[in-house]
Structure formats: C-alpha cells, structure tokens
C-alpha cells in the first residue's frame, strides 16, 4: 500500500509539474463557470457534477498513464513487486485529483450561494461519486496505450463510442425492430444510471445498494482486464 501511495503521489506531482497538468484546472474552471452559472440544487449536483467529475477521473487516468509511460519512469516500475501496483497507483492518483477538484468546486459553489445541499442526506454523495469515479478510472486504464496490446486500447475507444451513440439513439433500435439490443444496452448501463437516479432522488434503498455494488463490480472487472493485459506486455517505452 505504501508503494502504491508513494507512486501515486509522485505521478500527481510529476503531472502538475508539466504543461499537461494545466488540463485539469482548465477543464474544471470551464465546467464550473458553465454548470454553476445559475446555481444547482442537490439532485442536479449529484447527477451533472457527478458525471462531469467521472469524465475528469477518466481523463486524469489517461494523463497520469501518459506520464508513467516514459523511460524515465522505469526505475519506479522496477521497484514494484507487481505491475498491477502501477495501475492501482494511477487509479489512486486519479481519484485523489478528482476528489480535490470536487471539494474545491463544492466549497466555491456553497460560498457563492450557487449550491443548495440538504444535510445529512448530502453525505450520500460521497459513496455515490466514489463508486462512479472508480468505474470511470478503471475504464480509463483500458483506454491508455500503457496497458494496450496490439492496439487494444483503440478497440476500447471504439466500443465506448458505439455504446454512447447507441444509448443516445436508442429509438433507432426500436424502429429497426431490434428491441433486444436496446434492452441489453439498458441492462449494461443500469448500475451507474440507477445509482445516480436513486441518489438524486434521495432513495437509498435496495436498488441503490445493488447499483453501487454492480458499479464497483464493473470497476473491478475493468481493472482485472487492464492488469491482465499489462502483466505480460513487453514494455517498449515511448522514448
């Protein structure tokens, strides 16, 4: 655990010591300026900000993995007992950055009276977002060239694009009389969608816990696939 945390902190420091580190605050400030222009209530904050910060977690994984995929980082990898520890460090660094951004965003919105939270139900935002961010971070590990083998990360982008487009155009599936595809898509997206819906409606019942558990299961499955791809990969550094 100490090795993972040390590696994660090094990656975070290395990221913000480079120009790539400007991407995170730039995107965060842009989102804040747009999303909080007229303020938010708690349900909007859970869904809109939760999804946006999940996307930030995924992007941060890509940025950290790019920093790790360099020849100068090789001594750190050599000290790790298992290669999977590097992936865990990247994920931990991503969650750390995303969490700091979330806290700063919420504090700024509250200070400017642009956010309304209902206590203590607002505390449920923490496990809800952490589950969602963990899945997003694990997905990001499959989209980075660091773990990609024979262009497998490009296939991940393709599948993600198809999934998002199909979800946006589900009505076309019904018109094409392939309702089974729409039902399958709904089943795949049920855990994160239900998790956010239940949390925003302040319904922390059995469906909420089931959705949270399945979302975390998605994260573990994606992490396991990424670790398996990375475990036997011939490391050819970008430099």
State the pLDDT at residue 92: 94
| pLDDT higher than threshold 90 for residue 103 | yes
Confidence band (pLDDT; 50, 70, 90) for 176?
A: low
Let me know if residue 199 belongs to a domain.
Answer: yes
Let me know if residue 188 belongs to a domain.
Answer: yes
Let me know if residue 237 belongs to a domain.
Answer: no
Using alpha carbons, select from 237, 236, 224 the residue that is nearest to residue 84.
224
- Provide the token pair at 7: 């590696």
Let me know if residue 236 belongs to a domain.
Answer: no
| pLDDT higher than threshold 50 for residue 239 | no
- Provide the token pair at 190: 């049920």
Let me know if residue 169 belongs to a domain.
Answer: yes
Confidence band (pLDDT; 50, 70, 90) for 39?
A: confident
State the pLDDT at residue 54: 94
Let me know if residue 239 belongs to a domain.
Answer: no
State the pLDDT at residue 95: 95
Helices vs. strands in the chain: H and E counts, helices first: 11, 0
Confidence band (pLDDT; 50, 70, 90) for 97?
A: very high
Let me know if residue 42 belongs to a domain.
Answer: yes
Range of the structural domain that residue 215 is part of: 2-231
pLDDT above 90: percentage of residues in the chain: 43
Let me know if residue 28 belongs to a domain.
Answer: yes
| pLDDT higher than threshold 70 for residue 134 | yes
| pLDDT higher than threshold 90 for residue 96 | yes
Using alpha carbons, select from 131, 86, 130, 132 the residue that is nearest to residue 227.
86
Taking the whole predicted model, whether its pTM rises above 0.85 is answered as: yes
State the pLDDT at residue 73: 77
Using alpha carbons, select from 143, 129, 70 the residue that is nearest to residue 95.
129
How many independent structural domains does the chain possess?
Answer: 1
Structure-model confidence comparison of residues 167 and 46, the more confident one: 46
SS3 (DSSP) at 39: coil
């Amino acid at each position: 655990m100490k090795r993972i945390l040390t590696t994660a902190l090094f990656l975070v420091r290395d990221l913000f010591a480079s120009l790539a580190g400007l991407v995170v605050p730039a995107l965060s400030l842009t989102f804040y300026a747009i999303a909080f222009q007229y303020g938010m209530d708690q349900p909007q904050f859970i869904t809109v900000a939760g999804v946006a910060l999940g996307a930030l977690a995924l992007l941060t994984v890509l940025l950290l993995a790019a920093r790790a995929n360099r020849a100068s980082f090789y001594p750190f990898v050599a000290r790790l007992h298992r290669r999977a520890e590097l992936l865990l460090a990247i994920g931990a660094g991503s969650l750390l950055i995303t969490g700091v951004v979330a806290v700063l965003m919420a504090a700024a919105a509250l200070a400017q009276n642009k956010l309304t939270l209902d206590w203590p139900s607002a505390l449920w935002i923490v496990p809800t977002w952490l589950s969602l961010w963990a899945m997003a971070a694990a997905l990001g590990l499959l989209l980075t060239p660091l773990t990609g083998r024979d262009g497998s990360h490009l296939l991940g982008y393709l599948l993600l694009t198809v999934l998002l487009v199909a979800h946006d155009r589900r009505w076309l599936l019904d018109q094409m009389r392939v309702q089974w595809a729409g039902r399958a898509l709904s089943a795949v997206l049920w855990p994160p969608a239900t998790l956010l819906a239940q949390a925003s409606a302040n319904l922390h019942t059995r469906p909420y816990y089931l959705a949270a558990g399945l979302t975390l299961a998605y994260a573990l499955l994606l992490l396991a696939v990424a670790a398996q791809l990375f475990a036997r990969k011939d490391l050819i550094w970008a430099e």
